[in-house]
Amino acid sequence: MGDLRSAALAYVRAGQVRAHTVATPPGAPAPVLVVATVHGHNGRYQIVYDATRPPEDRWSCPCRHSDLCPHIAAVGLWAGHPGLAARTIPERTRL
């Protein structure tokens, strides 16, 4: 599933990630709140990252084609969560 990481990197490199809100507390290694728009191949997606939510609910993207989509991975790369893009797609989405 290198495609996910490649797509995410492509979005970041092409400047297709536009953050509207980024909140990083003093001394924190990464933002606790990110609201960003990713210009994807099929439209624009608003991605929200909220570190105050449970781990499985922290990221949301309206495309919803998996738990981790290229849009979320792109914002993750952009915002300093590179591990997200390295994660593989969960088994249950490969139906």
Positive or negative torsion for Cα 19, 46, 14, 25:
positive
Binding site for Zn ion (CB under 5 A): 45, 61, 63, 69, 71
In the complex, minimum distance from the CB of residue 23 to Zn ion, in angstroms, rounded to a whole number: 21
CB 38 → Zn ion: shortest distance, Å? 7
User: Shortest distance, CB of residue 9 to Zn ion, whole angstroms?
Assistant: 15
Looking at the Cβ atoms of 7 and 61, the one nearer to Zn ion is 61
Residue (of 53, 17, 52) closest to 35 by Cα position: 17
